[in-house]
Amino acid sequence: MPTENVELARRIAERMGAGDFVAALADEERFGEMAAALEPFVEPEFEIEMIGPEYQPQRLAYRGLDGYVEAWRDWLAPYESYRAELEEFVDAGDRVVLLVRQAGRTKGASVPIEAESAVVFVFRAGKLARLEFHLDRERARKAAGLSE
């Protein structure tokens, strides 16, 4: 049976949107509405971090709903289309790992890209305190305190 945090993560993921994120971002009003739909579920200055593989030391960090929008603008900059398929929610107490399959096409060369990734939701007192977007699922599991 899913815990309260898994259910919260599901509701937040639903509000993050479905379909082509590039098209959604191009429609400022629609993307603003998607971000605003998160407001009841997040701490005002919740953290967003984009975390690459271990060999890539750079981590990009953002705060609040404006930071959420900025993070997606930065992430989607090289894409002409981008979709995320939600695969599985994994309960880790105050953290939830969402396994995702991302697919997109780059701008210009229109190279198709498909990859497994994960999102770690960190909850504090029933609100989302932090979102971590991981390109490496094992690192996401470790960040959530889950072993192999």
pLDDT in tens, 82-95: 999 999 999 999 99
pLDDT at 1 over 60: no
pLDDT of residue 2: 64
Can you give the pLDDT at residue 56?
64
Percent of the chain clearing pLDDT 70 (strictly above): 95
pTM: 0.90
Res. 146: pLDDT tops 60: yes
Strand order in the sheet with 42-51: 59-63, 42-51, 127-134, 112-124, 95-106, 79-92
User: What is the rounded average pLDDT of the residues 124-131?
Assistant: 95
The angle subtended at Cα 96 by Cα 9 and Cα 55, nearest 5°, is 120
Q: What is the pLDDT of residues 32-42, one digit of tens each?
A: 788 888 899 99
Mean pLDDT of 39-63: 85
Instruction: Say yes or no: domain 4-143 is CATH 3.30.70.330.
Output: no
